[in-house]
Amino acid sequence: MFLGIDCGTQGTKAIVLDAVSGEVLGEGSGAHHMISGANGRREQDVQDWLTTFEQATAAALAQAGISGAEIQGIGVSGQQHGLVMLDESGHVLRPAKLWCDTESAPENDRLLDYLGGEAGSLERLGIAIAPGYTVSKLLWTKEQFPELFARIDKILLPHDFLNYWLTGRCCSEYGDSSGTGYFNVRTREWDLEILQHIDATGRLVKALPELLEAHEAVGTILPAIAERLGINPDAIVSSGGGDNMMGAIGTGNIAPGSITMSLGSSGTVYAFADEGNVSAQPSVATFCSSSGGWLPLICTMNLTNATSAIRELFALDIGAFNAAIASSPIGAQGVLMLPFLNGERVPALPHATGSILGLDSTNLNQANLCRAVVEGTTFGLRYGLDLLRESGIKSANIRLIGGGAKSAIWRQIVADIMDTPVICTTGTEAAALGAAIQAAWCHSHAEGADESLQALSERCVSLDPGSETRPVAEHVAAYHRVFQHYRNQLQGV
């Protein structure tokens, strides 16, 4: 039995996995609160994460009907790019700035200039640092809170912090580290010079966590935390990883030939690669995977956050929202939404705001606005998928995950816009499942059994044939025209 935890933006989810049968026995969850402010501030109190970790774990164990003593390992998935700073006593210095925080965008611009622009960043790190990456948050903290900055003893990503809470050990693995902006994805090493550039005292370099291979365990759970969670005190804690890396494992995307698309708070599209071939496109992040390879990825900043905003504006529940979308035709009768409520990463428009275009007296209605926000967010994913395809990524279908994937009408829109069949996994919590599978892999390695990740994946990941959705030829043709209109409008943003 293994516990998989996914600490995301909106909440924490937990699953209990029987790694022998491949069956998920129980699930639990808890909601997070967002601290929002002027200039793009998006932060969370890490105590929220610990509280929901306990709540979700207790609920998953209860639903599974097993004792926590049966849990042999824990894997943690975390939202990428976040910054958790600890002092020398292990106390958290301030709320964690998140992936969707753009308050430090000016600092990112200055660091990008230091690296020689996007081309220089790609050459040096293998990625082009973007607003929301961890590195700019460090420079922002130094300038906004110098006294607090002087107390930094450890700098951790969200999943690193949870592993530290569980084990008392500060570690990170290559996949999640790839999104910091101070990690070289080609050599799989920290880039110390950029941290020295931010602070010449060496404080940040000393605060870095130790790097682990994906199959290595961080350690054994601390006795006090094991008692608090009601978990086996001999349970190991795996290396874990970022939510996209764990989502890849949880969808069986651990070998070339698969594409995973996530319809969550953000939108992501990624594919496994066994070589670290860095794309010339700055918007393609050639992250490392948490399974021993690389994970070329694109990320949009606006997805269900934008669709939820429209849904809540009209006070619609999910069923009514989906019915409204279905009642509007392809192209929403000429209504086009550029849903850049948080700026945007793909397309690269960090300072953009949202727009609704093409309104007239005949098409201004609820249904068209609902369809336009779904189409607009999905166009951003198509824009990113085209970049991945240009870099050589190929797949016969797309494995769809995230809250939006539960909507049949949205699945059809995705299939038509991408001109590719889509299919969902049977479980809804791909990142938590991936974390549990990785925990089973790490446990096997620690026990000397060395069961392959591939074998575990084949046993634990299954696809839902009832969700398979194929593109409709006339829809594809219609969307080709609307997508070109979308691309043309980007020139003026």
Express each pLDDT in 399-438 by its tens digit: 999 999 999 999 999 999 999 999 999 988 999 999 999 9
Domain layout of the chain by residue ranges: 2-243
Least confident of 259-268, 364-373, 474-483: 259-268
pLDDT, position 345: 87
- Amino acid symbol at 178: S
pLDDT, position 392: 87
Is the domain spanning 2-243 CATH 3.30.420.40? The answer is yes
Condensed to tens digits (0 to 9), the pLDDT of residues 44-82 reads: 999 999 999 999 999 999 999 999 999 999 999 999 999
Per the annotation, the verdict on 234 as an active-site residue is no
Q: In the predicted model, is pLDDT for residue 131 greater than 90?
A: no
Q: How confident is the model at residue 491 (pLDDT cuts 50, 70, 90)?
A: confident
Average pLDDT over residues 32-50: 94
Average pLDDT over residues 111-123: 97
Average pLDDT over residues 298-304: 94
pLDDT, position 396: 85
- What is this structure's pTM? 0.93
pLDDT, position 67: 95
pLDDT, position 428: 82
Query: pLDDT over 70 for what percent of the chain?
Result: 100
pLDDT, position 102: 87
Average pLDDT over residues 89-112: 95
Q: In the predicted model, is pLDDT for residue 38 greater than 80?
A: no
Cβ(159)–Cβ(152) below 8 Å:
no
Condensed to tens digits (0 to 9), the pLDDT of residues 185-225 reads: 999 999 999 999 999 999 999 999 999 999 999 999 999 99
Condensed to tens digits (0 to 9), the pLDDT of residues 362-384 reads: 999 999 999 999 999 999 999 99
pLDDT, position 296: 95
Catalytic one of 18, 48, 160, 243? 243
Average pLDDT over residues 331-346: 94
